[in-house]
A = this chain, B = another copy of it.
Amino acid sequence: MTTHDNDAYKPIATVDLAIFSLSPEGLAVLLVRRAGAPFSGDWALPGGWIHIDEDADLQAAARRVLKEKTGVETPYLEQLQTTGSAGRDPRGWSISIVYIALLSADDVAQRQDAMAGQAEWRAIEGEGVGLSLAFDHASLLREALGRIRSKVEYTNLPGHLLPARFTLSELQSVYESLLGRKLDKSAFRKRMAEADFLEPVEGEMRRASNRPAQMFRLKDAQSLVLFDRRI
């Protein structure tokens, strides 16, 4: 058929993941140290080749990489973008399909030993991690952060970073932390009620030395809900 059946003309294709969770310092991203060339020893976003004999589709490839690095099977997962150019990998013309994954605090707590040595959480500072990353991964991370920060304004994205059950005050704190500004309590609660993505866990309350707070869970732990207006 065409000359492009000759495999030398095929670009290289990898799936890379920007996996986020909440750390005590705020948003954090999972990084791995590269074992082999190129960029051996450098920090990078977790990723890997597409296994054409094993992965049914791109999403499956992303899930496989996620499972390998974190043990988590069903987080929030969304395709961010695809970059491809002649120069981004010294081995040749290469494509990276980038996914964003959000891990709930429960996932992180359960899996932190399984990940030992393989990968490490780094707190986000400004536009990145204050660390130079392999390939164009610093740029990919910047894009991922842009997408996340944008979606905090008009989606329930922060709900996917909390544990399975949380209070409205806790949810508001995560919004405030990601947005970098304080929100009005009554307006916030009104938005959440309108967006209709939470359900109260009957009878379950967060208890402390004050009035107990109703606990909530996401109605759907995989899907993002868009608000009618910005928060």
Chain A contacts to B: CB under 8 angstroms: 1-2, 4, 7-13, 36-37, 49-53, 55-58, 61, 79, 81-87, 92-93, 95, 97, 228-230
What distance in Å separates the Cβ of A151 from its nearest Cβ neighbour in chain B? 13
Chain B residues positioned under 8 Å from A82 (CB to CB): 58, 79, 82, 97
Chain B residues positioned under 8 Å from A49 (CB to CB): 2, 4, 9
What is the bound-complex CA distance between A82 and B57, given in angstroms?
Answer: 11
What distance in Å separates the Cβ of A50 from its nearest Cβ neighbour in chain B? 6
Q: Do B86 and A52 have beta carbons less than 8 Å apart?
A: yes
A–B complex contacts, Cβ < 8 Å, 5 sampled: A4-B49, A7-B7, A7-B10, A11-B52, A79-B81
Q: A7-B10, A10-B10, A49-B4 are in contact. Are A57 and B84 (CB under 8 A)?
A: yes
Best-surrounded residue of A51, A52, A56, A58 (most CB of chain B within 10 A): A52
